[in-house]
Each structure stands twice: as structure tokens, then as C-alpha cells.
Chain A
Amino acid sequence: MIRLENVTKVYEGGTVAAYDVSLDISKGEFVFLVGASGSGKSTLIRLMLREEPVTRGKIWVAGKDITTLPRWKIPYLRRSVGVVFQDYKLLPNKTVAENVAFALEVLGRPPSVITDQVEQVLDLVGLADKGARYPRQLSGGEQQRVSVARSFVNRPPIMLCDEPTGNLDPKTSVGLMKLLDRINRTGTTVVMATHDHAIVDAMKRRVVALEHGKVTRDEETGRYEGALK
């Protein structure tokens, strides 16, 4: 589903944020990218979204070589990848339902389809009764669920999450992980960058550890600790 081949990313200014990274992520996998702050987790996610070009190497997402993707096709890549960030990125002047619907509106879906799919996905994330609220009327955990709903409403085969629990307390984080787990069980490939030990240890999923942009460990059902030695 996602394949990185000897990917190196050097930012302007010379920071090497990824060095010779090779990864193979199959359909339906759940993968944690772990590592200290600045180890290059977000960079890998940005590369997979073609938000940044690679310096060297190749990346395939959903069967397409995205390093040579023409600009005008980038929106189509983004439609097959749902993205969730630490800061929910909701529009404050739109209700929960409108925030989720926005993702379908801009793809030009007909209103009847939008209403249906928004209802379904809000049900999935457990916010069926809060569609009419504004983001500020929700807890952080609920806002992040809205963000997940928005990125998943289009049923993308891949979800990329960059520290989605970064602003949440441990209990709320567990709830969000259950949601991502459920999404993963529908066959969606999930890649999640985090430095939350407890979550990684509890989930017992594949762990890719990064240090200064290099992959130092790649284990099935790994633990976080190994990454720190």
C-alpha cells in the first residue's frame, strides 16, 4: 500500500530529516512511527502526502509513484489518504456536521450523498448526537474525533496520523486509539506518528523507530521502549 525506497530528505538549510529510509507497508496494516521529537516522523508523513518533495529515493502510495506525480494530480493522491493532526484543524465557524460535510462538498459530492455519509461517519466516531455543535462546544477528544470523521468520511484506503493524541489526556487517548483500531479493522491502512509510550505498548502493533532520520528498528508487534534502548 505504501512503499518507501531509500528515501532521503534534506531540508533547505541542510537538516537531514530522513536518511535512506526503506519501508514496506501492506494493505490493512497498523504501523507506529516512533522516535524522539525531531527524529523525522512528521517529515515521513509529509513526504507520503507529497507536501514536500523527496531529495532522493522513491515513494509509492496506493500503487502510484508519487515522487514523479504531476502537480495537478496531487489532489487525487490526497483523496485516497485521510490525514489527522495533533491540532484538529477544524473550522471554528462551522458546526461539527458542516466541518465533516466540507470535505465532501469540495469534492463536489451531491447533497443527498453528503447528508448520508456525514451521518454514517459521525455515528462511527460516536458523535451522532453532536452534529449541530460548534467545535468550541466540544472536548479535545471529541474535536479530534470530528477531525478523524472528516478525514475518513470519504473512505480513503489509507489514514496518516501525526501525533493525534498529542493534545489529549491518557484516558481520552485510549478512546481515540479504539476508534483508529476500528477504522483499521475495516481494512484501512493506518500509519501513526507518536511518542506516546503507553499507547504503543498497549496496541501491540508494528513499530518503526526513527533516530535522526534513520530507521533504527522495524518490528512486528513491537514496543516503544526498544526505540530508546
Chain B
Amino acid sequence: MSRFLFLVKEALLSLRRNALIVAGAVLAVFISLSLAFGALVVNEILRINTLAWQEGVHVISFLKDPGVDGVPVDAHEALLAEVRSWEEVEEARYVDKTGAWLEYQELFASQEELLDIDPNVLPASIRIELVDIDTHAAIKSRLQQNVLVVREVTTAADSIEQLQNLSSVLNVLGLGMAVVLGLAAVVLIANTIRLAIYARRDEVSIMKLVGASNWFIRVPFLLEGMVEGVVGAALAVFAVWLGSTNLARAGSGFALFRLDVGNDWFFRWGVLFLIFGAVAGIIGSMLGLSRYLRDAESSGAEVPTGF
């Protein structure tokens, strides 16, 4: 136990001593993993929505209130019957204003400030499932022509298309940059470790002189690199989580489109990214130590040089 505390104390002291270059290494880990994690989140949102798109409701037609502005009282029933008669339509379901309000309450159960609205502003709608989703554009424009009853038509197709573009950009550019920056981060960590060894060269040489085992000398440096990697990764996971939940909040109006990936998903991948950061840190440290490892034979008689 005391031995472990000794090692941790040494690692923390060293981190403080090289604050600036350590900050650089952590920043590189942070940016690299943020890009990678961000790309992953966008991919996940895309996957969720593509699935929902393929399996769920394809088109929503929001309706004007009947009996107002010249909309006939039976307009909703008439439109529903018409839509059901179209051969592209697999199934059409009517959601009245009460149903819309219930759905809204469920959707924003966790955001009380949004529940404070007049339930009456929520329109009734027809939810349409298509036989073949490729007909969505035709159905949309056909519904839009009925200006008397139809208030607005939404499909998830446009958002999915935009997301597909963003995702392919992120996958190529973002992940490419993430890899380059990740390598840079490992090299920077290696440098902080070299500096740390240099700053502690007298201690290290005396440790060797009195017969400290090699792993005992290395562990504080490995811990140091690991801490750098984990801190950078934690910041990245936190930043992406923050960005993504804010985005989900801002965009939760799209009835057909989900922008949140769920906390479970975040937790699973967050832990994986932390491990990833730790591994990158350890690899960086080992790289930084590799020169020292080669010199392991010489003891304290000569101060190590050439860092």
C-alpha cells in the first residue's frame, strides 16, 4: 500500500512539474478522441434513424383543426379514408389532438419547462406507413396539394440524407484527423515522459544505484502517461456527451427524427474510450521510456544524457 502511494505521489508531482507540455498532450488526446467519439455518435444517430425510417412511420401529415377557417368538420375522416385508399400506403393511423398531447407529454417527461404549453396548439395528424419507402416524396407532395386540410407534411428522409452527408464527411475527414491527432498525442505523451525522466534523472539514477527493480522505476512514468490519456479521454467523452444532449434537446421537435443516442449507449462507449485513452497513454509512456529501457544497464554512476 505504502509502495503504491509512493508511486502515485511521484507520478502526480511529475505531472505538476511539466504542466504546460502535459496540457498539450492532454489536449491532443482530447481533440483526437472527441473527433472519433463525435463521428461515432453521428453514426449511431444515423443508424437509429435509418432503422426507424425503414421500420416505422414514414410520413406524418399534420392537419388543420376542423370547423375553423373553412375546414369542413369531417375533413379529417375524409382525408384518412382517401389516404387509406392509396395503393402506396400500407397503413394509415389517425392521432387526434388528445393523442398528440399525450405523446408530447411522454416525449418531454424529463423537461418540465416544455410541458407548460397550451395542449390545444398541438395538431391532429395522420401517420402513414408506406409499402415502399421510396415513394415518400410523391406521397408528401400529393398531401401538400391538399392545402385546405393539410397544415404540414414531414418525413425523416431529408434529415437522414443530411446526416448521411455529415456522417461520410466525419468518417473520412474526422476519423482521419482523429488518427493523425491520436498518433500526435502518443508522441506528445512520450515527450512528457521523457521530460519527466529528465527532470527526475538524479532520482532515477539513485534508484538504479540502490537496486530498485526496473518496473518500480517505470511504474510512476507509466501511471503518468496513463493519467494523461484518461484525462484527455474523459474530457472528450464529456464534451461529446454535452454537445449531443444539447443537440437532442434543441432538435427534439422533429417528430420523426431522434437526435439522442441514449445514456446507456454513452456509458458503454464512454468507458471504452476511457480505456482507449489509458492504453494510448501507456503506449506513449512506453515509447518515452524505451530509450531509458535500453540504458537500463547503467546505474547511477553517470547521469543519463541525450534526451
Chain A residues with CB under 8 Å of chain B are 46, 49-53, 71-72, 74-79, 83, 85, 89, 91, 102-103, 105-108, 110-111, 150-151, 154
Measured between C-beta atoms, what is the minimum distance from A136 to chain B in Å?
A: 14
> Does any Cβ of A come within 8 Å of B296's Cβ?
yes
B212 & A106 in contact (Cβ 8 Å cutoff): yes
B207 & A51 in contact (Cβ 8 Å cutoff): no
Hey, what's the 0/1 contact readout for B173-196 against A, CB within 8 Å counting as 1? 000000000000000000000000
A150 & B210 in contact (Cβ 8 Å cutoff): yes
Can you name 6 A-B pairs with beta carbons within 8 Å? Answer: A49-B299, A50-B297, A79-B211, A89-B209, A102-B203, A108-B3
Hey, what's the 0/1 contact readout for B193-219 against A, CB within 8 Å counting as 1? 000000000110111111111101100
**List of B residues within 8 angstroms of A107 by Cβ:** 210-212
- Distance of A224 Cα from B6 Cα, bound (Å): 46
A78 & B2 in contact (Cβ 8 Å cutoff): no
Instruction: Supply 4 further A-B pairs (C-beta < 8 A) apart from A75-B208, A108-B3.
Output: A53-B297, A72-B214, A78-B209, A110-B2
B301 & A51 in contact (Cβ 8 Å cutoff): yes
**List of B residues within 8 angstroms of A89 by Cβ:** 202, 205-206, 209, 300
Chain B residues with CB under 8 Å of chain A are 2-3, 6, 202-203, 205-214, 216-217, 296-302
Residue in contact with A78 in the complex, picked from B6, B216, B299, B302, CB distance below 8 Å: B299
Residue in contact with B206 in the complex, picked from A51, A52, A53, A91, CB distance below 8 Å: A91
Residue in contact with A76 in the complex, picked from B208, B211, B296, CB distance below 8 Å: B211
Measured between C-beta atoms, what is the minimum distance from B94 to chain A in Å?
A: 75
Interface of B is mostly: helix
A105 & B6 in contact (Cβ 8 Å cutoff): yes
- Distance of A81 Cα from B214 Cα, bound (Å): 17
Q: Which residue of A lies closest to B205 (CB)?
A: A89
Residue in contact with A46 in the complex, picked from B6, B208, B301, CB distance below 8 Å: B301
Instruction: Assess A106 versus B298: contact at CB under 8 Å? Given A91-B202, A111-B2.
Output: no
Measured between C-beta atoms, what is the minimum distance from B301 to chain A in Å?
A: 6
Max chain B Cβ within 10 angstroms of own Cβ: one of A46, A72, A78, A85: A78
Q: Which residue of B lies closest to A105 (CB)?
A: B6
Measured between C-beta atoms, what is the minimum distance from B5 to chain A in Å?
A: 10
